[in-house]
Chain A
């Protein structure tokens, strides 16, 4: 119909790491995302905040196709997520093609989801060896460097159950980084942690941001958003209510709902 659907390839010229246009997602009759439009620039730390049930985690999971979008379009680095477009027709991607695209997108979960039957270092080398076919030696060397970077080189041989929540989450970040992603998704990475362990995880994330990693962070840590974030979106009820520079939105929210939410969180 429009120019966009008729564009020759499934790419958008130059620019944003993630672009969403009217993204809808529903589970049965419940519509969780009611048209999300946003743009995440390269190298940006993009914070998604909002009350629980507002759809921010669902949107994050759409980006690496853990959830299927029902309507609208979503691009990562100029490539359509989950589909291939020819003319004005969409073709579903095969599982292997989806898996291929996920390689470049790291994800960190609220509940860590480390593999409990593997040691910390085995967790980190698993995907590079199994998915990318790297040699075990190379993968191990890089994994040690990554664990060093998140401050856990001495825990390399520990099983997840022998690590604290904060340590597990840092291993999980190292595991995602081992795939050399161009984009990192964080789904409430500190929500399941004891308060005194949150700082270590945020420090690692801050370091990543300084190195120019593009990050989308669903979080309740307003301090982190204010300090590290380049952009912030406030979501509620499956729509974007307000967006802008985090320092501005957090200190001077324009919308009533944003104000009500922030007054409870801050």
Chain B
């Protein structure tokens, strides 16, 4: 204690504080209650025979289910690519000073965001009923080339158009928000250097907008993964439809719905973890200290109960790691 008072004379630092940390008895009580409720729920689920867990295990890796899974993944990936590319295009059009471009983008977003995606899917599927043939030629004149609509747009393409074009409308608004979040001085600086709008957008504005655009895009991807199940209405055999097809024959709907749900849950979990790390990556520079990773947080939970200060180094470690990545971008 004396050394604390006489600053210059003391060679070292004062003692590290060893205080009794705040106790959290409520957490222990809460944990016990939650454990009890979870046990009751698991007991109820396992003991009710209608769930037929043996069938769940049997169908989990069924070929038809796995094939549906692949279709679901393909649809998700391709529709998101369409959504992101289309969204960027629409957002840039929407913000253009050219009234023709911004008007077109406005109408597109109005229509595709204003009608249910389910309806759009059915429309794309029935395009062949509305126009049996699609042709290229002189407007209102002769056609040079034409093809059956149903050949041009098979079910998979109809599904992709329905999901992708709808997603583009949503992504457009996300991208627009991102572009508008970039400081106006950036556009002025680019213009003052003699860049035209297109170059300024491509080289200066969009790369900076990405930090705002990417996190919600992850969200949209997770949402898209589940939205693909709507495609079952136009009889495309993705994951959900594959499950439906099986239980329409053997009437084991509950076990098959569980199979399908487990797969969706598994895939969204993977995407969620991915999104977490992407958000963390893009938070660097804007957040002074990065939030801890789930593992660090798990460690902190128990250390927080035993001794609060011990949780700090975990945070500091995460920050240092993020700073290192800063130079790479």
> Which A residues contact B (CB, under 8 angstroms)?
64, 66, 95-96, 99-100, 102-103, 105-107, 109, 111, 113-117, 126-127, 130-131, 159, 161, 175-176, 179
CA distance A127 to B327 in the complex (A): 22
CA distance A176 to B183 in the complex (A): 19
CA distance A206 to B227 in the complex (A): 63
Q: Do B188 and A131 touch (CB < 8 A)?
A: no
Among the listed stretches B69-77, B195-203, B292-300, which one makes contact with chain A, having 4 or more residues with CB under 8 Å of it? Answer: B195-203
CA distance A66 to B285 in the complex (A): 30
Total inter-chain residue pairs, C-beta < 8 Å: 62
> Which B residues contact A (CB, under 8 angstroms)?
183, 185-186, 188-189, 191-197, 199, 203-204, 207-208, 285, 326-327, 329
Q: Do A66 and B208 touch (CB < 8 A)?
A: no
CA distance A103 to B199 in the complex (A): 14
The one of A95, A102, A111, A159 in contact with B193, judged by C-beta atoms closer than 8 angstroms, is A102
Q: Which residues of B contact A95 (CB under 8 A)?
A: 196-197
Task: Pick 19 A–B contacts, CB within 8 A, sort by A.
Answer: A96-B196, A99-B194, A103-B193, A103-B194, A106-B192, A109-B185, A111-B185, A115-B186, A115-B204, A115-B208, A117-B208, A117-B329, A126-B203, A127-B194, A127-B195, A131-B194, A131-B195, A159-B327, A175-B193
Q: Which residues of A contact B192 (CB under 8 A)?
A: 64, 66, 102, 105-107, 109, 176
The one of B183, B194, B199, B329 in contact with A179, judged by C-beta atoms closer than 8 angstroms, is B194
Chain B: which residue is nearest A102 at the CB level? Answer: B194
CA distance A56 to B193 in the complex (A): 21
CA distance A66 to B283 in the complex (A): 32
CA distance A46 to B188 in the complex (A): 22
Q: Which residues of B contact A100 (CB under 8 A)?
A: 194
Task: Say whether chain B's binding surface is mostly helix, strand, loop, or mixed.
Answer: helix
- Nearest chain A CB to B148's CB is how many angstroms away? 45
CA distance A109 to B195 in the complex (A): 16
Report, nearest first, the 9 A-B pairs whose CB atoms are least far apart. A103-B194, A113-B189, A127-B193, A107-B192, A113-B185, A102-B194, A131-B194, A99-B196, A117-B207
Chain B: which residue is nearest A161 at the CB level? Answer: B285
Most buried by A among B186, B189, B194, B196: B194
Q: Do B195 and A66 touch (CB < 8 A)?
A: no
Chain A: which residue is nearest B195 at the CB level? Answer: A131
Chain B: which residue is nearest A158 at the CB level? Answer: B327
Most buried by A among B183, B192, B203: B192
Most buried by B among A96, A111, A113, A126: A113
Assess A115 versus B199: contact at CB under 8 Å? Given A100-B194, A103-B194, A131-B194.
no
Chain B: which residue is nearest A126 at the CB level? Answer: B203
CA distance A107 to B192 in the complex (A): 6
Q: Which residues of B contact A159 (CB under 8 A)?
A: 326-327
Q: Which residues of B contact A113 (CB under 8 A)?
A: 183, 185-186, 188-189
- Nearest chain A CB to B204's CB is how many angstroms away? 6
